[in-house]
Structures are given as structure tokens and as C-alpha cells.
């Protein structure tokens, strides 16, 4: 047996007699199917082994038990990782937000940075004049373990039996673990503002984890030393990649440590069940310091990719809140019941198509220009997405510091300009459109009915305007994220690929620098890459500009620099095709009171349910 074992904890009950929650039942024998989990040594390796057995049980008569207050939710896909160091997507972040505490958190409506584990913080300088941030921490947040077979939550203890509370050393460990190149975190670049994080993460000779600018001054005080002043650093410090992490659990279970029954957490909820590809259930943490304020006791999270299926479950009162599928938006708006449950509001996210900048024919700016200007954004919004989205010609949406006004920079939709750029490319290359089509250009998106409809519409726009044939492919989310990394062999990269970006914090640095800078950002676009695995990068004006903006203390000058960077990326390099700035297009049952956080992930623990109304509807 290998280490990559799917671990299922909990009881799956198939009963010939069901005990009603409303009235006592007669005592009768029932058959239960039980998933038994054991941790065993086999062939010198510690493994987690499961087997399914049937047992006959004679239950004791019990008083009727109240149903837990339950949120029925759809993740829409399998969370790729619950490991704070490894998560990069909103699905994973939603779970992490509810199960781990962070240094700071965002107000769900205003986006303001607020205390969380940290009670307060202050900027300063060290003896060498380097900028610093010092955070004072509360000392009453317990690390907890949950046993899915018994439903018991217990506080984690150390080797001497002492209870474990989250402390500054857990922060230091978590930050360094994310930066450690052996962890292979795809989001480590966000922490490059921390002193020496970049050379350590890139394995530069002469640098070790001891050089990273983070240290515990005592159990409740952590200090960060920065490369440059950053007023937005309290936002970065509150991101999941900088969370306190349980070193003892990670050391013991390694890559299995986030499975149900093994994971050690610190947030308002704990992981009850994780059936990969099927269901992820969270339950309330009774040891949470503010447990009395958490009304929802259970989150049953499904992984239904088809938006139409999820919407049908919503209409049948089996899900409490869902995104509205594109084909249903007109019906929802016209329906007297559904329209009252409909929410349509701006969201701090941008939908775009990335170009693989070093893969022919998209290594030519004229091809990228043609494919960008052939997209009729307003027609796409009016006829396909129908959610009042804002056409995007640059990256950061309104509300982000330094973001240019929508539509003022970048390349507008312009079929004539697209045709001219494309014809110029064909003429210089001595090609016909048929020759171009023989190259087999591929557009890829992650599996989703909505993304498929958008891709089909844009595929047709390219055909109508440029005469080109583009193949459309899709992949499951976790596989897709691996495919569009800058380390993927060029032959395996699609020419064009769908991606969205949502704000981690409300500053342009999180957009133009951390996503697209070729040296210090994610650089999925492979800007400046001169070889197959994107290891050689030539400095460019854009990259130097986003680096300089980080150190600029004058807000007006920073905004000017970011506007310039946005225009270089979208209009001069045409490194990608911005399509629209998101809106929330959602329906929510009247018994669920929820928010729509601008930043930081969904906080189920702050939502409430009128259980009587929910159960009546069900």
C-alpha cells in the first residue's frame, strides 16, 4: 500500500429502521455499515487503513435529539488543498478561513483590516533601519483535534501533556514553512516583502530559513522585518499562507496531515468528514473562544461542478445558497420568488484569458493583440454572463488602491484593429489563415458549465472576426491549476487559458506585481521566459516599475506608477486579455442570513439560519 490513501472517517449509516428526531422509537435491532479506520505499521511504513464492516446494533432508547443547525453548501469542486502553505484557490481558502485563525482578518463588508489572533500591531524600524511590523497576540486560542468517529473535540497537548495554545512560534513556523523551497508553495511569492524571503524561497546560495525576517520575541509577540515599507503588510500578515501552523502534526503525518481525523486546527470550525470528490463536512468547534457567537453547527459541503445541478438542488431546498447559472439569470430576475432571493453586486475579482507568452504563435504581440481586440466584452456580458459585470481592459477592479478607472487604459474591443494586427502578422510570416489554423491553437478552462459557455462565445468571436479555429479543452480544477503553472513543460501548456483573480488585499501590489511580475510574481503568463521551463527571465520596464512602486511612500505617485504598469501590461505587451470585473450573481434562501465578503473567503461562522423555516421548507 502507498501513502496516497483516501482516508474516510465517520459513520455511514444504512438502517432498516430510522429513528425519528421528532418522537421516541421502539428499540429494535438495526444494521449499520461502519467505516473503521486504523493507523498501522506495514512494511516499515505508517499508513492509514480503512475497511467497511456491517454490525448489528441494539440501540438504547434515547430521548429525541435536536437536529444541528446545518448550512447546505456547494464548493462546486474538490478543494485542492487544506494546507495553508499550499492553498492558492478560493475553494480551499473558504475551508481554511473557517478552520484556522490568522493574524488579522478583513471586515466582510468594508474590507478593513481588523484584529484576530493579533490584538494590535505597530510599524517601526530595527537597528539597521529596516522597516518592521510587530504584532501582539492573544493567548487563549486552543489548538484542537476532532475525532469523527466519536464527534469529540479535544484540545491538543504537548509531549508533557500540557494544553497547546496558538502562539508566536507557530506563526514563525508557518511563515518559514511557506517560504521553505522544500514546501513548494505556489503562493510563497506573496511573502517576498519579508526580509530575505525571496532568496531563501529561490534557494539562493548563502541564505537559509534562519535569515527570513520573522521571529518570536516571546510567546505572544511576533516581529517581521521587511524589505521595504508596506502600509498593506497587516493585510498580507493575515493571509492563510502566514497562518500559525501545527508543526507537531505536520511532522507526524506529513502530506496526510490535513485529512479528517488527523488535522489539527485553530478556528471556529473543525473538519468532520472529507470524502474526496464527494463531500466535505465542517462542524462547530465547541472550544473556540467565541463559540457562543457561532450559530451554525454543521456545514455540509458538496462538490457539484454542474451549476445547473446545484441550482436544481437549491430550488428543491437542498442547498441554501448558490451561484446562478448563466442560462437561468433571466428566469431568476423574472420570477417573483427567486428575484427576491437574488443578489447582484460588484465583487473584487477579474475574469481574464492568459496567453502563454513564450509559446508560438502567442510569442508575437500582434497575435495577442488580435485575439484580445476580437473579444466583444459587452456582447459577452449582455448575452452570456448577464450579471451586470463591468467590461475590463485592465486588471485590478474598481475599489482597489491604484486601479485605473474601468475602460480608460488598455485595449478596447475593436474588430477592425484586431483584423489589421492579425493580417500584419500573417503577411510577415508568409502564412494564410489555414496555415495558422494548422498550428492547433488551444483554449483551456477548468471544468464548469459557465466557463464552457464563455469559451464557446469567445471561440465564435475569434472565428467571426479573425477566421481562426480554436480548440477548447477543459480539466478538473486541481489538475488545471497544475497545468497552468510556469514550471509546466511548454508542450503541455495551452496557448490561451482562463483564469480569475480575486483580491487578497485592496492594493494594486496584489494584482500587477504578485500576479504578473516575471521575477517575483506567479507569472503564469511566462512573460520574459526564454526557455521551456521559464527559468531565464529578462528584466523589463513593467517589472522594474512594480518593484519601485512597492517602496514609494507617496500614494499619488504610487497610483501613477500602477496606472502606467497596467497600461504596459494590457496595451503594450498585451500579455493577457482582461475580460470583465466580476459581480456576485447569487440566490440565497430567506432563512439564511449571510454576507458576501470582499476579501479573505467566506466566513460561515458569522452566518445564521432560521432553522425552523429551513426545516419547514425541507
DSSP track, 16-58: SS---SSS------EEEEEEEEEEEEETTEEEEEEEEEEEEE-
DSSP states of 378-392 as a string?
Answer: HHHIIIII-S-PEE-
Mean pLDDT for the stretch of residues 279-303: 98
**Residue 535 vs residue 163, higher pLDDT:** 163
pLDDT of 114 strictly over 70: yes
pLDDT reading at 46 higher than 70: no
Q: With beta carbons less than 8 A apart as the criterion, state whether 474 and 444 touch.
A: yes
pLDDT of residue 15: 32
Mean pLDDT of the chain, nearest integer: 91
For residues 436 and 16, the model is more confident at 436
Number of C-beta neighbours around residue 574 at 10 A: 24
Q: pLDDT tens digit string along 261-271?
A: 999 999 999 99
Binned at pLDDT 50, 70 and 90, residue 538 comes out as: confident
pLDDT at 25 over 50: no
Q: What is the mean pLDDT of residues 233-242?
A: 97
At residue 334, does pLDDT exceed 90? yes
Grid coordinates of 262: 488527523
3-state DSSP call for residue 75?
coil
**In whole angstroms, what is the distance from residue 617 CA to residue 338 CA?**
15
Percent pLDDT > 90 in the chain is 86
Amino acid at each position: 500500500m502507498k501513502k496516497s490513501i483516501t482516508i474516510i472517517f465517520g459513520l455511514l449509516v444504512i438502517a432498516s429502521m430510522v429513528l425519528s428526531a421528532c418522537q421516541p422509537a421502539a428499540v429494535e435491532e438495526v444494521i449499520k455499515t461502519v467505516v473503521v479506520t486504523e493507523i498501522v505499521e506495514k512494511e516499515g511504513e505508517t499508513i492509514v487503513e480503512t475497511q467497511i464492516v456491517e454490525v448489528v446494533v441494539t440501540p438504547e432508547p434515547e430521548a429525541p435529539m435536536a437536529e444541528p443547525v446545518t448550512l447546505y453548501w456547494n464548493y462546486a469542486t474538490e478543494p485542492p488543498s487544506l494546507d495553508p502553505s499550499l492553498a492558492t484557490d478560493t475553494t480551499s481558502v473558504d475551508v481554511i478561513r473557517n478552520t484556522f485563525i490568522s493574524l488579522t482578518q478583513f471586515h466582510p463588508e468594508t474590507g478593513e483590516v481588523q484584529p484576530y489572533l493579533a490584538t494590535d500591531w505597530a510599524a517601526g524600524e530595527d537597528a539597521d533601519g529596516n522597516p518592521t511590523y510587530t504584532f501582539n497576540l492573544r493567548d487563549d486560542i486552543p489548538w484542537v483535534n476532532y475525532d469523527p468517529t466519536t464527534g469529540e473535540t479535544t484540545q491538543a497537548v504537548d509531549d508533557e501533556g500540557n494544553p497547546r495554545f496558538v502562539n508566536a512560534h507557530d506563526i514563525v513556523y508557518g511563515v518559514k514553512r511557506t517560504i521553505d523551497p522544500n514546501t513548494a508553495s505556489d503562493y510563497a511569492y506573496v511573502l517576498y516583502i519579508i526580509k530575505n524571503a525571496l532568496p531563501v524561497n529561490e534557494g539562493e546560495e548563502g541564505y537559509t530559513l534562519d535569515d527570513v525576517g520573522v521571529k518570536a520575541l516571546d510567546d505572544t509577540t511576533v516581529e517581521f522585518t521587511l524589505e521595504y515599507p508596506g502600509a498593506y503588510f497587516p493585510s498580507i500578515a493575515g493571509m492563510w499562507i502566514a497562518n500559525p501552523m501545527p508543526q507537531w502534526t505536520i511532522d507526524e503525518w506529513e502530506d496526510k496531515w490535513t485529512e479528517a481525523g488527523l488535522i489539527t486546527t485553530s478556528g471556529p470550525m473543525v473538519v468532520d468528514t472529507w470524502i474526496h470528490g464527494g463531500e466535505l463536512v465542517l462542524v462547530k468547534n465547541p472550544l473556540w473562544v467565541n463559540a457562543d457567537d457561532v450559530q451554525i453547527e454543521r456545514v455540509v459541503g458538496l462538490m457539484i461542478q454542474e451549476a445547473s445541478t446545484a441550482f436544481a438542488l437549491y430550488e428543491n431546498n437542498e442547498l441554501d445558497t448558490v451561484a446562478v447559472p448563466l442560462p437561468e439569470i433571466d428566469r431568476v430576475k423574472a420570477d417573483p420568488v427567486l428575484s427576491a432571493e437574488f443578489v447582484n453586486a460588484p465583487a473584487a475579482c477579474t475574469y481574464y484569458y492568459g496567453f502563454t507568452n513564450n509559446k508560438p504563435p502567442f510569442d508575437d504581440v500582434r497575435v495577442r493583440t488580435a485575439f484580445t481586440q476580437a473579444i466583444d466584452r459587452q456582447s459577452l456580458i449582455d448575452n452570456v454572463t448577464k450579471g451586470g459585470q463591468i467590461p475590463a481592459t485592465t486588471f485590478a477592479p474598481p475599489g482597489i488602491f491604484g486601479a485605473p478607472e474601468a475602460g480608460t487604459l488598455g485595449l478596447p474591443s475593436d474588430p477592425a484593429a484586431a483584423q489589421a494586427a492579425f493580417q500584419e502578422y500573417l503577411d510577415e510570416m508568409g502564412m494564410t489563415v489555414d496555415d495558422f489554423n494548422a498550428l492547433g491553437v488551444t483554449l483551456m478552462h477548468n471544468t464548469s458549465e459557465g466557463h464552457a459557455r464563455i469559451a464557446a462565445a469567445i471561440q465564435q468571436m475569434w472565428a467571426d472576426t479573425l477566421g481562426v479555429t480554436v480548440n477548447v479543452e477543459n480539466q478538473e480544477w486541481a489538475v488545471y491549476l497544475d497545468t497552468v503553472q510556469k514550471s509546466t513543460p511548454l508542450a503541455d501548456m495551452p496557448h490561451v487559458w482562463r483564469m480569475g483573480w480575486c483580491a487578497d488585499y485592496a492594493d494594486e501590489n496584489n494584482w500587477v506585481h504578485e500576479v504578473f511580475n516575471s521575477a517575483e510574481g506567479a507569472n503564469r503568463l511566462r512573460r520574459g521566459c526564454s526557455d521551456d521551463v521559464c527559468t531565464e527571465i529578462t528584466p523589463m520596464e513593467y517589472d522594474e516599475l512594480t518593484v519601485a512602486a512597492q517602496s514609494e511612500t507617496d500614494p499619488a505617485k504610487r497610483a501613477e506608477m500602477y496606472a502606467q504598469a497596467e497600461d504596459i501590461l494590457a496595451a503594450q505587451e498585451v500579455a493577457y486579455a482582461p475580460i470583465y470585473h466580476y459581480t456576485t450573481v447569487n440566490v440565497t434562501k430567506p432563512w439564511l442570513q449571510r454576507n458576501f465578503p470582499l476579501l479573505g473567503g467566506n466566513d460561515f461562522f458569522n452566518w445564521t439560519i432560521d432553522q425552523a423555516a429551513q426545516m419547514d421548507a425541507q
